[in-house]
Amino acid sequence: MLNRICLCLLLTASATAWAADLPEFQLTIKAQKFEPAQLTVPANTKFKLRVTNTDNTPSEFESTEFNREKIVLPNSTVTVFIGPLDKGSYKFFDDFHQDTGKGVLVVE
């Protein structure tokens, strides 16, 4: 387990170096909806997704299709690293507002 932690730390150094070069995309949560509700990203490319919550209530950006989940506090922005993904469409949702918070990531 200690080895694993060391490995984590080692990989961090390299991982943060790559992070700067990654393409960035933006999602905004407004009135408990995603804007845009459909986001197009390149296939087979790792990217950085910034999710900004402009509401006064917390949200949770989540997808079981590209396996990500992160709480987005009121009036704040989080970063989530996604991919590389194969071509296709992947649904995501706001776990705290499932009725309204729905969106699709179109990978092409």
Q: Does 95 bind another protein (CB under 8 A)?
A: yes
- Judged by CB under 8 A, the residue of 40, 57, 89, 108 near another protein is 57
Contacting residue, 41, 80, 104, 105, with another protein by CB under 8 A: 80
Q: Which amino acid is at 82?
A: I
Contacts of 16 (CB under 8 A, 6+ apart): none
Q: Do 46 and 81 meet the contact criterion of CB atoms below 8 Å apart?
A: yes
Whole-angstrom distance, CA of residue 88 vs CA of residue 72: 26
Residues that bind another protein in the complex, under the rule CB under 8 A: 1, 4-5, 8, 11-12, 15-16, 18-19, 32, 48, 55-60, 64-71, 73-74, 76, 78-81, 83-86, 95-96, 98-99
